[in-house]
Amino acid sequence: MLSRTADHLYWMARYTERAENTVRMLDVSYRMSLLPRNNGSHDDGWGAILAISELTEAFARTGRPLTPRDVIEFVVLDRNNLSSVWNCLRAARENAHAVRGTLTAEMWETTNATWLEIRDMTPEKLQATDLGEFFEWVKFRSHLLRGVTFGTMLHDDAFQFVRLGTFLERADNTARLLDVKYHSLLPQNESPTSTTDYYQWGALLRSVSAFETYRHVYRDVITPYKVAELLILNDAMPRSLHSCVDAVNDILGQIANLHSAEAARQAGELHATLHYGRMDDIFDTGLHPWLERFLERINRLGDRIGDNFLVPVAA
Amino acid sequence: MTADSKMTAAKPYDEMHAPDGSVRPHYLAYADWLADTPRERIERKRSEADVAFHRVGITFNVYGAEGGKERLIPFDLLPRIIPGDEWTALEAGLRQRVKALNAFLADIYHGQEILRAGRLPADQVLNNAQFRPEMKGVEVPGGLYAMIAGIDLVRAAGADGKGEYYVLEDNLRVPSGVSYLLENRKMMMRLFPDLFSRYNVQPVEHYPDLLLETLRAVAPAGVLDPTAVVLTPGAFNSAYFEHSFLAQQMGVELVEGQDLFVKDDTVYMRTTQGPRRVDVIYRRLDDDFLDPEVFRPDSMLGVPGLMSAYRAGRVTLANAVGTGVADDKSIYPYVPEMVRFYLGEEPILNNVPTYMLREPDDLAYTLAHLPELVVKEVHGAGGYGMLVGPAATRAEIEDFRLRILAAPEKYIAQPTLSLSTCPTFVDAGIAPRHIDLRPFVLSGGKEIRMVPGGLTRVAMKEGSLVVNSSQGGGTKDTWVVN
């Protein structure tokens, strides 16, 4: 397939996944802010959201106060914030538009309809909407696109590039979420094996649809140690780093070309780290440095994939 | 040339109703259906169609509109119906005309017999901006230049009240609109399946198959299993939907210039598995933008080296480079002469009488009759830069007069044809609106083929004669019925 086509498919999937993960985070913070336990320091969760997406500075430049409403508007709708949900869904649709002939009719119509619906959204309209419902809507549009992709698209290379975008983006997003949340939730000097705020950790799990999964896997109280283990090492948990890297590794095996040996090697190495890694070693390294290193490696792999498959290189 | 006064008859020919108000035979079953069908149902179907077209994104980009906005082309639910025998006659005429046009192109890029025979003024051809000296002596597969032609037909009321078809113009560069033809049919069948049980409507859905066969038939000699692609200027082009649609329907790659490169006079596309050879390019890009090394050096849309590979016969371009000289409005008046010269036949299809303003007599006549005439720029297209005398204000006419006087050779004039009308759903109910017809004629291999009918365009504004989508025109499904 055309390299440019692969590039558009890959980015269509990445932007859709990013939009989904962004509202997952917002949804959790929003629900938390509705809980009665707030002791006046409710900016914590919202500041963390900006930190996860590396938007702290960009937000500060807008001069807005750090209120839930301002953060939500900035992260969801701000036209100048290139990572806003609005911009992600626009970019997803533009990428789809550029290769609409490669998509099935259902895929194109899903992406296009999502964009047409959010296109005219304004802060006023958002305020008038039930936020929880809106977040659900974004999530379900993403689910829907993934579903029609899986159910209608020929499972060929084009399909693999869509999946590649999804899993790379998800690995990145889950790692960021865990990194920021973990440190904002775990008080200094507290052991990761002790039980802490049930609601806060429960919320983190819910943001990756893993609350019930946690119960099912551990049949135990929620501890930060096990939350990290579930989201990093559990290969059956669809949003964990291990499961995303499994998928990336597998896809790279299927789309291999004459130049892609290095990408395959990097993915294999990353896969081995997760497949044979142990939680204790990760905590010995320090979770934060370990996740930082992971993000670095996944991004380097993304660049390498871009060079090997997506950027047109003359023969 | 003298004006044919019959053609300016006041009352236009109506496709559905005879002058006495009775319904023409081929519309009787439709009229029955319409009488039986509650207006609310049709209204509901109309909004259903709007929603579906929007969701599917069957849009076109309007040049000059804010941010290249995507807009829907209005789709009218009342079909244009053509009786089968009428179409058979048209089809023969279209075959003949396209055959002659291709013969003309082969001739002027080789022996130029027609010029030497003095049947057409040589300077009209050789000094035409659309004549490409780069094509002289270049052999193209099958001797074919315009593999895909869109011939615009209109129908005017003859003296005897019978409708007479005329060719308004030939589109031999990158004619567009066939995707609407196909989508309109799909939409009609989805909205009104019951209607199709009342009529034996000839199918059109196989057009992409015919197109693919045509493209493969003109592959460079010796290529056994040719790879064809569609070359688009990109997602912001007004016809991008169509480019993407045709590539998908044919199952070939939709490429942009940046996806192709030329090495050793061979064209390759860049794929995730490395370079892959391309044999036939259905290009939806004007000549000027094809190759920055030969044509416009600032073109970011083309492929450097493409012309060299093309001239070496290593790749086929459809349509060929340089076809514009045959559909130029200054050459149009000579097409009937081409039919006689190359085929030894009398033209089946009529040409509209045309005044060439480069001729002093024609200029004088035109300037004296501007309020009655349609004046067109020789190189204009898409309904831009034309004057429709009867619909223009005095100021517009005077303004146009100055433009003509400044450069008469840039213009032609024709009597204002009273284009036929077809009943159309409008805000106030059903009212007649002017229409034209663009059949798409495919030449490749031995045969010249087309799907029955074509794209019917309709001027949605009352009294308007301009059907171009860029000027607010809409479309109708077109039925050839047995």
Mean pLDDT of chain A: 89
Q: Which of B58, B272, B278 to mutate to test the interface with A (most CBs of A within 10 A)?
A: B272
Residues of A in contact with B245 (CB under 8 A): 101
- Look at A156-165, A233-242, B383-392 and tell me which has the smallest mean pLDDT: B383-392
Same domain? A105 vs A166: no
Same domain? A143 vs A247: no
Q: Which residue has the tokens 């790659």?
A: B253
Same domain? A191 vs A97: no
A309 min Cα distance to partner chain B (Å): 5
- Of the residues A122, A138, A153, which one is the last residue of a structural domain? A153
Q: Give chain B's contact residues with A (Cβ, < 8 Å).
A: 54-57, 234-235, 244-245, 247-248, 253-256, 258-259, 261, 263, 268-275
Given a cut of 90, whether residue A40 has pLDDT beyond it is no
Give the C-alpha separation, B8 to B416, whole Å. 6
**Angle, nearest 10°, between helix axes A85-98 and A68-77?**
10
What is the enclosing helix (H) or strand (E) of B134?
none
Q: What is the pLDDT of residue B1?
A: 39
Give the C-alpha separation, A199 to A206, whole Å. 10
Please, what are the domains in chain B?
Answer: 5-220+315-350+439-481 (no CATH), 353-416 (3.30.1490.270)
Bridge-based pairing of strands B440-444 and B148-157 is antiparallel
Residues composing chain A: 315
Given a cut of 60, whether residue A140 has pLDDT beyond it is yes
Report in angstroms the alpha-carbon separations of A270 from A182, A242, A273, B89: 22, 9, 5, 70
Q: What is the pLDDT of residue B68?
A: 44
Residues of A in contact with B255 (CB under 8 A): 2
Q: What is the pLDDT of residue A41?
A: 52
Write the pLDDT tens digit of every residue in B39-63: 899 999 988 888 888 777 666 655 4
Give the C-alpha separation, B313 to B265, whole Å. 9
Per cent of chain B over pLDDT 70 is: 93
Give the C-alpha separation, B305 to B293, whole Å. 7
B384 min Cα distance to partner chain A (Å): 28
Average pLDDT on B424-436 reads: 91
Q: What is the pLDDT of residue B181?
A: 95
Given a cut of 80, whether residue B86 has pLDDT beyond it is yes
Per cent of chain B over pLDDT 90 is: 73
- Cα dihedral sign, A276-A279-A280-A286: positive
**Angle, nearest 10°, between helix axes A241-254 and A157-185?**
160
**Total number of domains constituting chain A:** 2
Residues B166 and B155 sit within 8 Å (Cβ to Cβ): yes
Given a cut of 50, whether residue A236 has pLDDT beyond it is yes
Q: What is the pLDDT of residue A53?
A: 85
Between the ranges A106-110, B62-66, B414-418, B437-441, where is the mean pLDDT highest? B437-441
Q: What is the pLDDT of residue A258?
A: 87
What is the enclosing helix (H) or strand (E) of B363?
helix B360-368
Query: Quick one: which of B251, B244, B275 has its CA closest to B261?
Result: B275
Q: Which residue has the tokens 């051809």?
A: B125
Per cent of chain A over pLDDT 70 is: 92
Same domain? A212 vs A304: yes
Domain extent, residue A292, equals 157-315
- Look at A135-144, A228-237, A277-286, B466-475 and tell me which has the smallest mean pLDDT: B466-475
Give the C-alpha separation, B316 to B310, whole Å. 6
Confidence class for position A36, pLDDT limits 50, 70, 90 = low
Q: What is the pLDDT of residue A32?
A: 75
Return the C-alpha torsion angle A152, A158, A162, A168, nearest 10: 150
A176 min Cα distance to partner chain B (Å): 30
Q: What is the pLDDT of residue B67?
A: 41
- Of the residues A118, A153, A188, which one is the last residue of a structural domain? A153
Mean pLDDT of chain B: 90
Confidence class for position B64, pLDDT limits 50, 70, 90 = very low
Cis peptide before A95 (omega within 30 of 0): no
Residues of A in contact with B57 (CB under 8 A): 97, 100, 108-109, 112
Give the C-alpha separation, B352 to B167, whole Å. 7
Report in angstroms the alpha-carbon separations of A267 from A75, A262, A272, A300, B427: 31, 9, 9, 10, 61
Average pLDDT on B257-280 reads: 95
Could you say which DSSP state residue B432 is in?
E
Q: Which residue has the tokens 């607010």?
A: B472
Given a cut of 70, whether residue B129 has pLDDT beyond it is yes
B35: its two tokens = 């009488």
Write the pLDDT tens digit of every residue in B211-227: 999 999 999 999 999 99
How many residue pairs from chains A and B have C-beta atoms closer than 8 A? 71
Report in angstroms the alpha-carbon separations of B23 from A32, B197, B439: 70, 20, 25
Q: What is the pLDDT of residue A193?
A: 64
Same domain? A228 vs A298: yes
Tell me which amino acid residue A205 is. Answer: L
Q: What is the pLDDT of residue B384?
A: 66
- Of the residues A96, A126, A153, which one is the last residue of a structural domain? A153
Q: What is the pLDDT of residue B66?
A: 42
Q: Is A275 exposed, middle or buried (0-12, 13-18, 19+ CB in 10 A)?
A: middle
- Residue A257 near chain B (CB below 8 Å): yes
Confidence class for position A179, pLDDT limits 50, 70, 90 = confident
Q: Which of A90, A95, A100, A152 to mutate to test the interface with B (most CBs of B within 10 A)?
A: A100
**Angle, nearest 10°, between helix axes A105-119 and A131-152?**
160
CA A168 from chain centre, in angstroms, equals 9
Residues of B in contact with A314 (CB under 8 A): 261, 270
- Residue A104 near chain B (CB below 8 Å): no
Same domain? A163 vs A307: yes
Residues of A in contact with B259 (CB under 8 A): 2-4, 312
Residues B287 and B277 sit within 8 Å (Cβ to Cβ): no
Same domain? A161 vs A58: no
Same domain? A303 vs A205: yes
- Look at A48-52, B198-202, B331-335 and tell me which has the smallest mean pLDDT: A48-52
Give the C-alpha separation, A302 to A252, whole Å. 12
pTM: 0.85
Average pLDDT on B357-374 reads: 92
Facing residue for A101 by CB, picked from B254, B259, B261: B254
Neighbouring C-beta atoms of residue A280, cutoff 10 Å: 9
Q: Which alpha helices (H) appear in B8-112, and where do they start and end?
A: 28-36, 39-56, 84-108
Same domain? A98 vs A206: no
Could you say which DSSP state residue B138 is in?
-
Q: What is the pLDDT of residue A246?
A: 96
Residues composing chain B: 482
Contacts of B408 (CB under 8 A, 6+ apart): B357, B358, B363
Average pLDDT on B345-353 reads: 95
Same domain? A184 vs A298: yes
Given a cut of 70, whether residue A12 has pLDDT beyond it is yes
Q: What is the pLDDT of residue B61?
A: 57
Average pLDDT on A28-55 reads: 72
Residues A240 and A231 sit within 8 Å (Cβ to Cβ): yes
Tell me which amino acid residue B278 is. Answer: V
Judge: A101–B258 Cβ closer than 8 Å, yes or no. no
Facing residue for A3 by CB, picked from B56, B244, B271: B271
Given a cut of 50, whether residue B279 has pLDDT beyond it is yes
- Look at A114-123, B131-140, B237-246, B465-474 and tell me which has the smallest mean pLDDT: B465-474
Given a cut of 60, whether residue A43 has pLDDT beyond it is no
Largest CA distance in chain B: 68
Same domain? A16 vs A29: yes
Which comes out higher in pLDDT, residue B290 or A46?
B290
Could you say which DSSP state residue B425 is in?
E
Facing residue for A255 by CB, picked from B263, B270, B272: B272
What is the enclosing helix (H) or strand (E) of B175?
none
Q: How many Å is the Cα radius of gyration of chain B? A: 23
Which comes out higher in pLDDT, residue B417 or B355?
B355
Strand partners, B281: B229, B317
Give the C-alpha separation, B418 to B422, whole Å. 13
Same domain? A232 vs A85: no
Give the C-alpha separation, A52 to A55, whole Å. 8
Average pLDDT on A108-131 reads: 92
Q: What is the pLDDT of residue B4?
A: 42
The distance in angstroms from the start CA to the end CA of chain A is 15
Judge: B261–A6 Cβ closer than 8 Å, yes or no. no
Neighbouring C-beta atoms of residue B387, cutoff 10 Å: 22
DSSP string of chain A, one letter each residue:
-BHHHHHHHHHHHHHHHHHHHHHHHHHHHHHHHHSTT--S-THHHHHHHHHHTT-HHHHHHHT--S-HHHHHHHHHH-TT-TTSHHHHHHHHHHHHHHTTTTS-HHHHHHHHHHHHHHHT--HHHHHHS-HHHHHHHHHHHHHHHHHHHHHHS-SSHHHHHHHHHHHHHHHHHHHHHHHHHHHHHS-TT--TTS---HHHHHHHHHHTT-HHHHHHHH-S---HHHHHHHHHT-TTSTTSHHHHHHHHHHHHHHS--TTTHHHHHHHHHHHHHHHH--HHHHHHH-HHHHHHHHHHHHHHHHHHHIIIIIS----
Q: Which pairs with CB-CB distance under 8 Å and at least 24 residues apart come from A211-214?
A: A213/A237
Residues A207 and A179 sit within 8 Å (Cβ to Cβ): no
Q: What is the pLDDT of residue B202?
A: 96
A237 min Cα distance to partner chain B (Å): 30
Average pLDDT on B453-468 reads: 88
What is the CA angle A147-A151-A157, rounded to 5?
100
Write the pLDDT tens digit of every residue in B297-346: 888 889 999 999 999 999 999 999 999 999 998 899 999 999 999 999 99
CA B331 from chain centre, in angstroms, equals 16
Contacts of A184 (CB under 8 A, 6+ apart): A44, A45, A48
- Look at A174-183, B100-109, B380-389 and tell me which has the smallest mean pLDDT: B380-389
Average pLDDT on B405-412 reads: 90
Give the C-alpha separation, B203 to B211, whole Å. 15
Contacts of B177 (CB under 8 A, 6+ apart): B150, B242, B438, B440, B455, B457, B475
Give the C-alpha separation, A143 to B327, whole Å. 51
Give the C-alpha separation, A79 to A91, whole Å. 12
Given a cut of 90, whether residue A203 has pLDDT beyond it is no
Q: What is the ipTM of this complex?
A: 0.77
A77: its two tokens = 């709708």
Residues of A in contact with B274 (CB under 8 A): 257-258, 315
Confidence class for position B9, pLDDT limits 50, 70, 90 = very low
